[in-house]
Chain A
Amino acid sequence: MANLKNTEKKTKAQAMGMHTEVLTGRTQQKFFNPDEAENFYYFGTYDVDFNKRTDLDVKDMTAAEANKEIDNLMSQGFGTIVIKNPQGKHSLGVGILNKLNLIFEGSLGYFGMGSCDGPIVRINGRVGWSCAENLMAGKVVIEKNAGSCFGAAIRGGDLICKGSVGARTGIDMKGGTIIIGGDAGAFTGFMMQRGRIIILGDVGINLGDSMYDGTIFIGGEIGSYGSDAVDSELTKNDQDWLKRKLKVAEIGENFDVSKMKKIVAGKKLWNYDNLEPTEKKGAI
């Protein structure tokens, strides 16, 4: 947690009236107890069994009702839930912070599977905008195509689309892996900060525009590079990891990963810190 220390010695920033405390030490003096070693689940989550399976028809339900019913089924210990007739409803399956095997028999609308942490999801159809936005952990597999902003701001987990995706895939992502079997649109990896994107097909213009960090692997043609996106050497460790990941993703198992292009941040946009004090002064 933030540990703001008071100090008498004034720095330049303090002299400028920007702040009075030293912004340092976000360390928590929390230590690990080996006795808790065998606990694999968040405190307070449902104890579900993958072998306990049920169906849920959401045809006549709103998204909120369907999501509540999924939660209710998890509380009864169901570890595998098959959703029938999703019919392109928006915001289905959001906020699941539990171990779960969830199968959608159909397509989802926008913001499907947002803010999840842990579930394994299979969507036997297409998805709209911002699928799995803010995913923290787990695996989401889309059998067909996906809309724009696929995996926006994800922080962890694997997000797989076996078809093609729209523009701004992985925008602002801060971790995790996005794997695309087909092509991707413009501004893929826009402002990404961490994580990995793998695209087996072609990608549109401005790839990795303004990326801060992270890695993009491309198997096909690149429309154009975005600002500060540069080529990097594909290492042996990269290739081993790619082979493993494609196997996990159930796509491109026989893809020649040695021919993939690796794109990283040139880190030339990291100099904003030199401008900040001037801007602050101007604003005052």
Chain B
Amino acid sequence: MAKKKTKTKSKKEKKMKLGTFKETAREKMIGQHIGYRYDVNLLPDYKKITPFLKKYVEAMGWDDLNWLEDVHMGYEEGRPAVFCRNANGWVTIPKSFKLPENQQDRDMIARELLVKFQMSPKHPLVDLKKAYLKF
């Protein structure tokens, strides 16, 4: 009996693991997912804000997270990732990076990493800007 219980638990955990949700027939056919696979409407818990984000908000002169309220930790190809709207692509989180279980904590990390990525001189838009900027 005890063995059976352990098996059920591990099966449940596997089902809930990010990136392992079963695709619909349509998703299988087109090779990509339909809709969001995380709660895009989740409002940020400001108690979880990181020191870096506090500094960023202060530097910009805003009163809160502003556009970052829409940033969440999602996943792509089975790995945690954050969507960069400027590059129009998912930016995967390095494997070495350990993420907390709580979605609010994960979202704050996603926001911090996205700001660092977007403001980096290595961002893909920097090269595009150099090549195509008109004025």
Contact = CB atoms under 8 A, between A and B. Distances in A.
B120 A43 contact: yes
Interface in A24-51: 24-34, 36-44, 50
A156 B123 contact: no
Contacts of B60: 40, 99, 118
A28 B89 contact: yes
A244 B121 contact: no
A26 B77 CA distance: 9
A101 B62 CA distance: 10
B67 A156 contact: yes
Contacts, number: 152
Given A22-B31, A99-B60, A39 B67 contact: no
Contacts of B119: 36, 39-43
Interface string A106-125: 00000000000010100000
A23 interface: yes
A175 B70 contact: yes
Interface stretch (A134-142, A162-170, A179-187): A134-142
B74 to A, nearest CB: 11
Interface in A230-275: 237-238, 241, 244-245, 248, 264, 270, 273-274
A214 B41 contact: yes
Give chain A's interface residue range (CB within 8 Å of chain B): 35 or more
Q: Looking at chain A's contact residues, is the secondary structure mostly helix, strand, loop, or mixed? A: mixed
Contacts of A137: 66-67
Q: Looking at chain B's contact residues, is the secondary structure mostly helix, strand, loop, or mixed? A: mixed
Interface in A191-231: 194-196, 213-215
A172 interface: no
Contacts of A61: none
Interface in B12-41: 26, 28-32, 34-36, 40-41
A157 interface: yes
B39 to A, nearest CB: 10
Nearest to B45: A237
A101 B60 CA distance: 10
B35 to A, nearest CB: 6
A283 interface: no
Contact of B116 (A23, A25, A36, A118): A36
Contacts of A23: 30-32
Contact of A28 (B30, B36, B68, B84): B84
Contacts of A37: 52, 116
Interface-centre pick from B41, B87, B120 (highest chain A CB count, 10 A): B41
B92 A44 contact: no
A36 to B, nearest CB: 5
A43 B29 contact: no
A133 interface: no
Contact of B28 (A11, A32, A194, A245): A11
Contacts of B67: 136-138, 155-157, 175-176
A40 B115 CA distance: 7
B40 A213 contact: yes
Contacts of B66: 137-139, 156-158
9 contacts: A1-B88, A28-B84, A29-B92, A30-B92, A30-B117, A44-B129, A237-B45, A241-B43, A273-B26
Interface of B: 26, 28-32, 34-36, 40-41, 43-46, 52, 55-56, 59-64, 66-70, 76-77, 79, 81, 84-85, 87-92, 94, 113, 115-124, 126, 129
